[in-house]
Amino acid sequence: MNETLRLLDRLIAFPTVSSASNLELVSWIESEVSPLNARLRKFPNLAGDKTNLLVSIGPEEPGGIVWSGHTDVVPVEGQNWSAAPFVMRRKEGKVIGRGATDMKGFLACALAAARSLDLNTLARPLHLAFSYDEEVGCVGAHDMANWLGASDLKPQHVIVGEPTGLKLVNVHKGGMIGWAHVHGKTGHSSRPDIYVNSVMVAADLIAFISAIRSEMREGPKSPRLDPPYSTIQVNQIHGGTAGNIVPELCSFFWEMRVIPGAEPQDIFQKILAYARDVLEPAMKAVDNNCRIDIEPIATIPALRPNDDIEAERELLAQLNQAEAETKAAGTEAGIFQKAGMPTYILGPGFTAQSHQPDEFIEEVQLESCTALLKSFVQRYCCT
């Protein structure tokens, strides 16, 4: 078993679903980089049960490169795995296990490449940025990215290792996610006129969101993306207790994904205004305690093409790639870019292999990624 596979085997063994702590995994990473005389900086969450970890290797100088990846994985409940999901398996050139593709495979490649360094050759630093809670709205990386962007380190590139089949990506949509909670007035369903039906009000609000969705299809386009327009939808809804009771509470989860240049906050304010100005007055006319709470959970910045075209061309040339590609899903890349650093997405494996039962990554992708990261160190940290 080579070094990348050894590291991936240990990484998969940590069941770091987003609802669990990642501290044990972070502690293990610290031990793996201890021979590298690395500077370790932690950025914990408020509860203290999760943390980002920034590992800096080499001189404390501007320049160099950042390799970034999240430590959390999606749950396995309700999925039909053929064997234990947090035990790495190898079969027919594939590595199977939760997080193999998304994105512990990249973390293993980054650690393997870092551990192979000759520290005496580093003229500029290599940074490894490990984040938490990416899978629940990219909410964990902000403190670490903002600190790095505001520091004097000024890395030349940030590479976020989400699965792209080792193709360079320079654009993805931004977005916002959250919950809406409609608080009505409950009572016997034979007298709906004196109560406030939270499910019906939620349906009115969802219909308004659906109208925005239709407008988006006809609105501004970003031809490189698929679909090329912004989207918004409702994916979960809960409400009511019985068929003959006017429901007091109805909650639904909404998400929007907007093309670069569009502002999620503008769309959110439009929804909020409809709830406040159109729906709530009729509710409060029945009972002033009725209301609609619309709560954003997270805002994910879009990833836009970086300003330095020549630097991007150089990266593409190293990859023998004609032009940068796009990615449909949001990532932490937009967070690092918003913090002032040139940022791209590039990682082993493919999105279609992630979040699935028997999630896998091809061993050849891991081998190629580790070799590629080693070449990046030579180019951006050693010359």
State the Cα–Cα distance between residues 14 and 72, nearest whole angstrom.
Answer: 9
Which helix H or strand E contains 210, and what residues bound it? helix 198-218
- Give the residue carrying structure tokens 């007091």: 248
| Stretch(es) of the chain classified as CATH 3.30.70.360 | 174-300
CA-only gyration radius of the chain, Å: 23
User: So what's the architecture of 3-172+302-380 in CATH?
Assistant: 3-Layer(aba) Sandwich (3.40)
Q: How many CB atoms lie within 10 A of CB 6?
A: 15
Which helix H or strand E contains 325, and what residues bound it? strand 325-327
How deeply is 140 buried, as exposed, middle or buried, from its count of CB atoms within 10 A (0-12, 13-18, 19+)?
buried
Q: Percent of the chain beyond pLDDT 70?
A: 100
Residue 274 contacts residue 308 (beta carbons within 8 Å): no
The whole-number average pLDDT for the span 366-373 is 97
State the Cα–Cα distance between residues 226 and 221, nearest whole angstrom.
Answer: 10
| Three-state DSSP class for residue 232 | strand
pLDDT at 354 over 80: yes
pLDDT for res 217: 95
Tokens at residue 85, please?
Answer: 């999901």
pLDDT class of 328 with cuts at 50, 70, 90? confident
Tokens at residue 278, please?
Answer: 């159109």
User: So what's the architecture of 174-300 in CATH?
Assistant: 2-Layer Sandwich (3.30)
| Stretch(es) of the chain classified as CATH 3.40.630.10 | 3-172+302-380
Question: Any idea what the Cα angle at residue 363 is, between residues 326 and 140, rounded to 5°?
Answer: 50
State the Cα–Cα distance between residues 368 and 42, nearest whole angstrom.
Answer: 30
The whole-number average pLDDT for the span 10-22 is 97
Q: Percent of the chain beyond pLDDT 90?
A: 97
pLDDT class of 302 with cuts at 50, 70, 90? very high
In 3D, which of 175, 252, 260, 246 has the Cα closest to residue 208?
Answer: 252
pLDDT class of 329 with cuts at 50, 70, 90? confident
pLDDT at 1 over 80: no
The whole-number average pLDDT for the span 161-166 is 97
Pairing of strands 94-96, 360-362: antiparallel
